[in-house]
């Protein structure tokens, strides 16, 4: 749900004592993404009034970014699905009177899994549904596709995949226990999980679940299971998620979305609390001492003409598309140096970027230098309408290949708001790399995507936004 919020008192010459701020403190939150906005809302609700968010880009919401087209269809470039274990998100929807926003993905058109990219071109092979692919990849005995399309509980419980999923759930509960919220407590014995998630699965003879987790974890850019730590894999792949994907809890789709997009949630919270957010705020230095926290920034006063043109309407017609300005780079234009003083600092942004400008302690450097980042690039594009189109197309074997597209989502079909008069379809393509996103990558990502789409017989392609 965005970067985790990390907090620190002004004093840095002693070990942190985890003291919270006073209600009279001036509180600085770095980052106005979901973590920063949620943290600010909690503080404001509890009587803290001097809360300021510093945001590098020209918008709030961070990794939640919804583009709504001229037909009113929301296209998620970031946070997309409401998973079964998103308890806090649903609580927020209820609290801010948005509980009617959750809608199930069109059940009549389930996600399609393609074994090879070429099967999408129109050859003899047809895409499998999610259950078909998972079981065909995992089971030692063949199960007829007609059975897999509508698994009954009795058939499901006779499969080895079901037995392995029960074993995984028991391990999950043994290691992390039962916890109310999404973030578990620290495992009792970290040595038991000091390995990659794939090594953990193999150690406990759960190899049959690898295809399953390739879909639930890697497809949306949460990292490759042969590289991510076990704790992260366990944290995301909860018992609720497993049961929902396997259709053990009937009557509820495993995936749902926000009718008007995830950005609506953060917009509503920001407006409700009238949050103090300083946008286009490029932090240059953070100094902490016993008197407080001093933050030196370059604040945009007047964007350049080029920056205004690039920002523009995300709906211009480009033959090969234009990329959205990288939110890691400050928007060009006239800036002024501004120094602000606070009593308490909360970091709710990528820690590696903040560490570069903060007077980090040796302990902080030791902890945070071990973090590794991946880039999931999403591209909103338009192509000629196809009569038969799936809400999601997933190409598992392409996940570990840099730059190539491994998944395409059609929100119009997923939300069942397709119109017979439509001549164009808009979709979001996913490309996964293990490098930080930067301008040098954009051209490679765009060219590779267009080549993929043409190979899949997409016609009249127009890239609307690369993010």
pLDDT band at 313 (very low <50, low <70, confident <90, very high): very low
Residues 170, 174, 179: CA angle, nearest 5 degrees: 100
Query: Yes or no: is domain 372-466 CATH 3.30.70?
Result: yes
Find the mean pLDDT for residues 226-252.
80
Q: Do the beta carbons of residue 356 and residue 44 sit within 8 Å?
A: no
19 vs 382, more confident? 382
Q: pLDDT value at position 332?
A: 65
304, pLDDT greater than 90: no
Break the chain into its structural domains and give their ranges: 6-64+263-368, 130-255, 372-466
Q: pLDDT value at position 23?
A: 94
Picking from 193, 154, 77, the residue whose alpha carbon sits closest to that of residue 437 is 77
Q: What digits encode the pLDDT tens for the residues 150-176? A: 555 566 666 777 888 899 999 999 999
Find the mean pLDDT for residues 41-52.
97
The residues near 217 (Cβ < 8 Å, ≥ 6 apart) are: 197, 223, 225, 228, 233, 236, 237
Mean pLDDT computed over every residue of the chain: 79
320, pLDDT greater than 50: no
Q: pLDDT value at position 249?
A: 52
Question: Judging by beta carbons within 10 Å of its beta carbon (0-12, 13-18, 19+), is residue 438 exposed, middle or buried?
Answer: exposed
Q: What digits encode the pLDDT tens for the residues 397-449? A: 787 777 788 888 888 888 877 666 677 889 999 988 765 545 557 788 888 88
pLDDT band at 40 (very low <50, low <70, confident <90, very high): very high
Beta strands 51-54 and 27-30 are: parallel
Residue with tokens 């001492």: 289
Which fold would CATH assign to domain 6-64+263-368?
Answer: FAD/NAD(P)-binding domain (3.50.50)
H or E, element range at 30: strand 27-30
Report the C-alpha gap between 429 and 446 in whole angstroms.
Answer: 10
Q: pLDDT value at position 298?
A: 87
Report the C-alpha gap between 375 and 221 in whole angstroms.
Answer: 7
130-255: which CATH number, 2.40.128, 1.10.287, 1.10.405, 1.20.144?
1.10.405
Report the C-alpha gap between 89 and 181 in whole angstroms.
Answer: 10
pLDDT band at 5 (very low <50, low <70, confident <90, very high): very low
435 vs 360, more confident? 360
The residues near 395 (Cβ < 8 Å, ≥ 6 apart) are: 114, 116, 117, 120, 405, 406, 407
Percent of the chain residues topping a pLDDT of 70: 73
Q: pLDDT value at position 395?
A: 80
Domains 6-64+263-368 and 372-466 share a fold: no
CA distances from 134 to 72, 146, 161, 266, 365 (A): 34, 14, 9, 35, 41
The residues near 206 (Cβ < 8 Å, ≥ 6 apart) are: 164, 167, 168
């Amino acid at each position: 749900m965005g970067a985790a919020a990390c907090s620190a008192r002004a004093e840095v010459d002693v070990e942190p004592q985890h003291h919270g701020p006073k209600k009279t403190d001036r509180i600085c939150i770095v980052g106005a993404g979901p973590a920063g906005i949620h943290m600010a809302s909690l503080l404001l609700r509890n009587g803290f009034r001097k809360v300021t968010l510093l945001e590098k880009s020209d918008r709030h919401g961070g990794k939640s970014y919804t583009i709504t087209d001229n037909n009113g269809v929301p296209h998620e470039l970031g946070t997309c699905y409401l998973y079964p274990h998103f308890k806090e998100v649903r609580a927020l929807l209820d609290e801010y009177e948005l509980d009617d926003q959750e809608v199930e993905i069109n059940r009549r058109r389930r996600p399609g899994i393609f074994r090879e990219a070429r099967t999408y071109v129109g050859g003899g092979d047809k895409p499998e549904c999610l259950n078909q692919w998972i079981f065909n990849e995992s089971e030692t005995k063949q199960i007829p596709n007609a059975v897999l399309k509508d698994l009954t509980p009795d058939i499901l419980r006779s499969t080895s995949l079901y037995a392995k999923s029960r074993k995984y759930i028991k391990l999950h509960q043994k290691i992390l226990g039962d916890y109310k919220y999404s973030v578990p407590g620290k495992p009792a014995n970290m040595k038991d999980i000091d390995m990659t998630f794939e090594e953990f699965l193999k150690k406990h003879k759960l190899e049959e679940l690898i295809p399953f987790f390739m879909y639930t974890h890697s497809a949306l850019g949460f990292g490759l299971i042969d590289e991510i730590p076990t704790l992260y894999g366990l944290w995301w792949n909860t018992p609720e998620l497993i049961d929902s994907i396997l259709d053990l809890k009937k009557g509820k789709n495993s995936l749902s979305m926000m009718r008007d997009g995830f950005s609506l949630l953060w917009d509503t919270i920001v407006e409700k609390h009238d949050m103090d957010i300083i946008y286009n705020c490029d932090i240059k230095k953070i100094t902490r001492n016993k008197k407080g926290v001093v933050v030196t920034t370059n604040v945009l006063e007047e964007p350049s003409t080029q920056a205004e043109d690039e920002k523009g309407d995300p709906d211009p017609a480009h033959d090969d598309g234009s990329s959205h300005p990288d939110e890691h780079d400050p928007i060009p234009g006239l800036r002024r140096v501004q120094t602000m003083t606070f009593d308490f600092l909360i970091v709710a942004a990528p820690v590696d970027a903040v560490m570069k400008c903060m007077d980090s302690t040796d302990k902080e450097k030791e902890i945070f230098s071990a973090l590794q980042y991946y880039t999931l690039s999403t591209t909103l594009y338009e192509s000629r309408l196809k009569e038969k189109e799936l809400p999601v197309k997933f190409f598992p074997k392409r996940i570990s290949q840099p730059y190539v597209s491994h998944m395409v989502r059609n929100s119009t079909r997923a939300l069942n708001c397709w119109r017979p008069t439509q001549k164009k379809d808009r979709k979001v393509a996913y490309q996964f790399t293990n490098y930080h996103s930067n301008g040098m990558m954009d051209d490679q990502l765009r060219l590779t995507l267009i080549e993929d789409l043409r190979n899949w017989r997409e016609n009249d392609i127009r890239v609307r936004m690369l993010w």
